[in-house]
Structure 1
Amino acid sequence: MSLSVDLLQLNDFMVCIFTLFIFSMLYLSIFVFYFKPELSNLS
């Protein structure tokens, strides 16, 4: 019984890490799209 509970907690943890990873990649892509043209215009 405790093993299944541990697996469930581990699964929730993996989902949390995966969601954070997806959000960070989205944030990075948005940052690059918005600031890359401004950087190229400056130079």
Structure 2
Amino acid sequence: MSREYRHISEYETEIISMHNQGMTLREIADKLGFTHTQVQEFKSGYNKK
């Protein structure tokens, strides 16, 4: 999936919303064009806020 470069933190609301809807981190990563690990690390950091 090609996309214009944006830092993963710019997708914060989308990631949290998708996760709250029951999507797995792997599904979110595939949809947004990130790796599973990137989304997992973002989510871990978000939870520490």
Q: TM-score range by the shorter chain?
A: 0.3 to 0.5
Structure with a larger share of its residues in helix: 1
- TM-score normalized by structure 1? 0.34
Tell me which structure has the larger Cα radius of gyration.
1
Q: Tell which has more relative contact order, 1 or 2 (C-alpha 8 A, sep 6+).
A: 2
- TM-score normalized by structure 2? 0.30
